[in-house]
Each structure stands twice: as C-alpha cells, then as structure tokens.
Structure 1
Amino acid sequence: MNLQEIQKETGIDALLVTDPYNMRYLSGFRGGEGILYLSGKRSVLITDSRYTEAARQESSFDVLEENQEHRRPELLQACLEQDGARTVGYEDQSLRCCEFDRFRAELPLVKEWIPLQGQIDQLRRIKTPEEQELLAKAEAIGDAAFAEILKILRPGMTELEAAAELEYQMKKNGASGLSFDTIIASGKNSSMPHAIPSVKKLERGDFITMDFGCMYEGYCSDMTRTVVLGKADEKQKEIYNTVLKAQKEALSVICEGMTGKEVDRVARDIIERAGYGKCFGHGLGHSVGLFIHEEPRLSPADNTVLEAGMAETVEPGIYVPGFGGVRIEDLVIITEDGCRNLTRSPKELIEL
C-alpha cells in the first residue's frame, strides 16, 4: 500500500504526519520537529527556524516556517483552504491529545478527522535494497564494537564502564548515535532482560549480557551477545546452549510466508522442552528500521505474514531469577526462501 492508496481507501482529502520517523521516511527531513501536510496537490513540511535551512537541504517538500506570526494551525488552515480539503487523516498513535484538540478548535474547515492508526507506519515495513544496506552497515558497526569490547572486559570493571566502552567503540566506528540505551547486565542482573547498567562490578563466573545498537544514516542496528567472564559452569552451559539451539532453529526456518507466531513457536518449543518455558517471557523478535522497535513482531500474538524485505531480530532468551540469564540476538532480512543474517559476531559460548 502507498500514500495514494491510503487516501483512496480512507476517503481523506489530506493527511497530517507527526511521527518523526514517518516524517523522515516520507520527506527526507531528519530533524523530527514539525508536521507534514500531504494532499493530492501539495507536499508541505512545517517546522521552525531551528530546522528550516536543513529541511530545505534534505527535503523536496515545500518548507514553511512556523513562528509567532505564522503559527502551525494558521499555516495548515491556508493549505486546507487552497486544496478545499474537508476530510483529514491524522496519526492518532503519535499526535498528542492536546495538539489534536487544538487542531479541532483552530481548523474549522475540517469537517471530519479520520484516525489512521498504524497505516503510515506500514509503508516502512518492506525495506528497499538501499535501506537494507544501511541496516547492514549499522549492524557491522555493532559487530566491530563487540570484537573490541571482548578485549576490554575484565573483573572489577563496572557495568556502566563496560557500557561506556561499548558505546565509544560504536561511535569510533562511524555510528551517529545509539538506537537505544545500551544494556550491560552481569551475574544475577542478567536475569533481567532490560536491566539498566549499574555500578556492579564484573566478577569471574558472571554471565555478561550485552544488548546494544547504533544508528547509521538514521537506520538502527540491534544485537545481543552473552559471554562468561572466566569458565562457565554446567548450568550456565546448559542454559546457553538451549538458547543457542532455539535461535539457530528459528533462523533455519524463518522465511517469507511464515507468520511471526509460527517462527516464535519454533524457538519457544525448544526452550519449553528444556524446562525453561516460564523463563522466556518476551517475544522472539521485532522489526527494525528507522526506529528500533517496529512492526511486525515475532511473538505468540502476531499473525502477520512475513514478507521478503522485512528486517527482524531473532532473540530468544532464558532468564532465571537469582542466577542469571542469556539472550542471543541477530538481525536478519527476510527473503523468499530464508533470511540474510546481517549479524556476523560469533555466537558460540565465549569464555573470557
């Protein structure tokens, strides 16, 4: 589906785009502050003086500057008048209630407001070849950072210090920023899937789970690796190898035509048979693009049929409170007969 099809299906005369990732996808503008007005007659980007110069360089849209004399509703009203637009679609999942109320009050020309839910987001589901290569470059930066952090981790280093080193390595290798807050969880902390790095010191015998990602030209990477600082004991090996088997099996079957639920079930069955079903509480994966958590997802609740060109993480995990946890995550591009794995870092158990 494209914008024209959305307009035809919903019967709207124009639409407003407020989600910053959709703004970038549709207009090329990277600033994230402002609003897009789109109709069959014009494509307009409204932003303030902090971004107008950059917007004109990055986008082919007509750029209008909002200020005290030309407020956003007034600029939108002029567009509506010129187009005779009376039915307007809006992104109800990103537009703040207070701003929507203001639009309804100050844009009397609009007779009907149509919530578009996630229809604009869906335009980003299939990644173009160019987008796929940007994702691959971002993931390669993560691979390079992981190789370096393995040389740096040592007993006595705090989780916060390890996170800082990992983030430095990503920036050093070309990342423009982080795609999410870095997770470094060691020892018992690794039983928390989204643990926040702390002043806890790394100790011998610890699981160290590292979930991290960066941005390259706006596109995100995402990978997780778990290592052991020192020698792994038998329980650690059992848990690690179960997660590894679950991930490899899921990677071996994922392809166009499967649903997210079906892929999730492949990995979940392995973990459940090993007796750790209650220790795998999250879904197997999610889509990645301009935003780190996109749709569709690999989860028990997602019946979306996967299509070639979608980018998905595959990240099973086992988390045992009071003991520790393991997660292994790769980022893949769905193909007709399988997937292209963008993550190259080794995943066999590493003992440092």
Structure 2
Amino acid sequence: MNRAEKVLKLLDKNNIDAIYLTKESNVNYISGFTDEAANVIICKSGNFIITDGRFTELAENVCKGFEVVNWHLFDRNITKAIQSICLNNGIKKLGFEKSNLMFDKYQTLNELLGEDDITLVPTEDIIETLRYVKDEIEIENSKKACAIADKALELLLPDIKAGVSERELCAKLEYYMKINGAQAIGFETILISGTKTSLPHGKPDDKIIEKGDFVTIDFGAMYNGYISDMTRTFVIGQPSEKQLEVYNLVKEAQLVGLENMKAGAHATAPDIEIRKIIKKYEEFYYPGIGHGVGRDLHEQPFLGNYGTKTMEAGCVITMEPGIYIPGWGGVRIEDTVLIKEDGIEILTNFPKDLIIIEG
C-alpha cells in the first residue's frame, strides 16, 4: 500500500471525500515533490499536485501517480484550480490542514466552493500520523544527514579557537556540511559562546570567542529532505570546576535519557529519570529534552514532562537535556536517535567527552 492509499483509508475513517494539503513537508512526503510552491489533493478517483509553470516539469518527472495541475491556467487563481478538481471528481467534503491553511486563503476557498455546495472540513495530523514511524528509506536518509553533520563538525574542530567570531565559525560549519553532501542546512545554526550559552536558542553574531568560554553548537544537515540534529559543547582553555561539574552532569543526564528511550516507553519517561541526575541545577533545566525529527525539525513525539505520545520502533527522536544558567552560561548535549524493536541506535556519533580546546 502506497502513501496515498494509506491517506484514503484515513479519509474514510473521517468521512471525508478528499484532503487538500498545503504544508510543504506533507506535500513532499505524499507526492515525492522536491521543491516548494506546491499543494496536493488526494481523493478516490485520483491524486493531484497543484503548482505553477516554474515547477510543472519537475512535478511531472518526480511525482509518480499524480496528475500535475498548473494553477496559472485557471486565471492564475489557485482556488479555481481546486474548485475544478473538486467538481470533476465528485468531491463534496474536502478536508484541509487546519493548522496550516491561512485564514484569508480559507475564506476565499470556502466562499468559492460554497457556491457548489462543497464543504471544507478541518483536519488535524492526518499525514503526521503516517509520518510518525519512518520507513527504511526515510531512516537511511536520516542516517546520511547525521553522517554529514558528524563529518562537518570534525572538519570544524581545528577552526574553533579563541580570537575567531561566532559568525565566522558558523559560516565554515555550514560550508563543511554542503561540501560533504548536504542538500541544505537543516535549520538555522546555533553557534554561541561565553555567557550566551545560557540561551537555548541563541544566535551567532560578531562576538569573539575567548579563553574560558563554553562554545555550544546546535546544527543539522538536510539530505533528501530529511534533517539531522546534534548539539555539542566545547570549552576554550582549562575549564573551571563549575564548568566541569555542569558539563559532566549534563553528559550523565543525556546518557540516562538515552537509556530511557525505547519502543513502548512514554514520552515523559526520560524526563523523570533525568531530573534525578540534575537535581542540584533543576531550576536551570529546560524540560524540552527531545523531539521527533524528519522532514520537519520538530515533529511528534515531543519528550518532556508535557509529552503525550508513546515512542515506537521507527521513530527518529532527539535526546538533548541541558542546563542554562543566566549570566554564566550553559551546556547542552544532543543526539539524533532511532528507536528500534530491541533498543536504540544513536545516529549522531561525534564524541561526547568534553573537548578542551587550548586557547
């Protein structure tokens, strides 16, 4: 059963004739499209990818089993293209992704389809349900993205030193990813130093790295649409006792988190055990300790005290506990992890022992 057929089964359960997809990662997952600016409609009588003249040739080449619809041929009005597909295929109840369709687009589409007694039905997580567990091809793409990231950080290591700026190092890291096969960077690179490392999502700037600084690097590569996610923290010059203490606590916490990732485990399970390790610094602990990663950087399941899902074999999830002390700095260690029937496979393999870089 292909992906579109699996969608049809879910539509039957929801009593919907068809679904209109607008989220780029979902469109690409279902259709095989490899670029932007495309939508999809799945229904019993056919599958349609809606794009414009810039991408029709690409869609015809890569979207097997999909009819390509150039919406520019409908008075450059995508809602008219959708209306035509609905009328030609007997669609009376059209599902849409309620968390992704902009309200103004919804209003325009609802008004036009309403003229033909076609009802828009909000849906949630129809495609995400299928994406939760990765297939073998997806897992291989994730592994390749992780291998590219490992290699890039290995190449960057000699460049990390006192006297260079965060922005310069960031540019080099992204260059190393691309020359080693990355389709793109997976997300905006976090490369920060000194007291800025207390910011879980701090941004690199012209700050010069100095002796005594922690350097935190959170980054990923994209390969065939799939993203890796890894964080490592280094220290410039000999670390202080507190730096060693915090680093070693986070490393222990991350290992404990990994030990509590397994098929059948609830998303809250790792957090419970990690809190026992970092108790002394719990006020500086951020409970978002992991998330699914694939075509999107952040997917279900989300690990932490607010988690609602159960980990399953085939899920690809990060484990990334951290301690963040305002005005002092912070440490995060993160891996991308594959959940297997008999345990886990850590896909990011750069060393996690504290690397001390002589200033």
TM-score tier, shorter chain, comes to over 0.9
Aligned counterpart for 1:178 among listed residues 157, 166, 185:
185
Local SS of the residue matching 1:292? coil
Q: How does 1:314-329 map to 2 (within 5 A)?
A: 314-329=319-334
Q: How does 1:184-195 map to 2 (within 5 A)?
A: 184-195=191-202
Q: Is the 8 A contact 2:91 2:118 kept in 1?
A: no
Q: Is the 8 A contact 1:23 1:32 kept in 2?
A: no
Structure 1 gaps, min length 5: none
Aligned counterpart for 1:42 among listed residues 40, 46, 49:
46
Structure 2 gaps, min length 5: none
Q: Give the AA of the match of 1:280.
A: Y
Q: Is the 8 A contact 1:85 1:110 kept in 2?
A: no
Quote the Cα distance in structure 2 between the aligned partners of 1:170 and 1:85.
Answer: 45
Q: What do residues 22-54 of structure 1 show as CA deviations (whole Å, max 9, x unaligned)?
A: 000000012221211111111001100111111
Say which is worse superposed, 176-185 or 109-118, in terms of deviation. 109-118
Residue in 2 that maps onto 1:295: 300
Quote the Cα distance in structure 1 between the aligned partners of 2:242 and 2:79.
Answer: 61
After TM superposition, the score normalised by the length of structure 2 is 0.95
Q: What do residues 5-34 of structure 1 show as CA deviations (whole Å, max 9, x unaligned)?
A: 321111001110110000000000122212
Q: Give the AA of the match of 2:150.
A: D
Q: Is the 8 A contact 1:88 1:110 kept in 2?
A: no
Q: Is the 8 A contact 2:113 2:119 kept in 1?
A: no
Q: Give the AA of the match of 1:93.
A: S
1:71 aligns with 2:88: no
After TM superposition, the score normalised by the length of structure 1 is 0.97
Aligned counterpart for 1:207 among listed residues 207, 214, 222:
214
The Cα shift of 1:112 comes to 2.7
The Cα shift of 1:106 comes to 1.1
The Cα shift of 1:71 comes to 2.5
1:333 aligns with 2:338: yes
Q: How does 1:271-282 map to 2 (within 5 A)?
A: 271-272=278-279, 275-282=280-287
The Cα shift of 1:70 comes to 5.4
Quote the Cα distance in structure 2 between the aligned partners of 1:80 and 1:111.
Answer: 8
Q: How many residues align?
A: 350
Quote the Cα distance in structure 2 between the aligned partners of 1:229 and 1:173.
Answer: 27
Name the Cα RMSD after superposition: 1.3
Q: Is the 8 A contact 2:221 2:229 kept in 1?
A: yes
1:139 aligns with 2:154: no
Residue in 2 that maps onto 1:22: 26
Residue in 2 that maps onto 1:225: 232
Quote the Cα distance in structure 1 between the aligned partners of 2:121 and 2:246.
Answer: 49
Quote the Cα distance in structure 1 between the aligned partners of 2:281 and 2:36.
Answer: 42
The Cα shift of 1:4 comes to 2.2
Q: Give the AA of the match of 1:308.
A: A
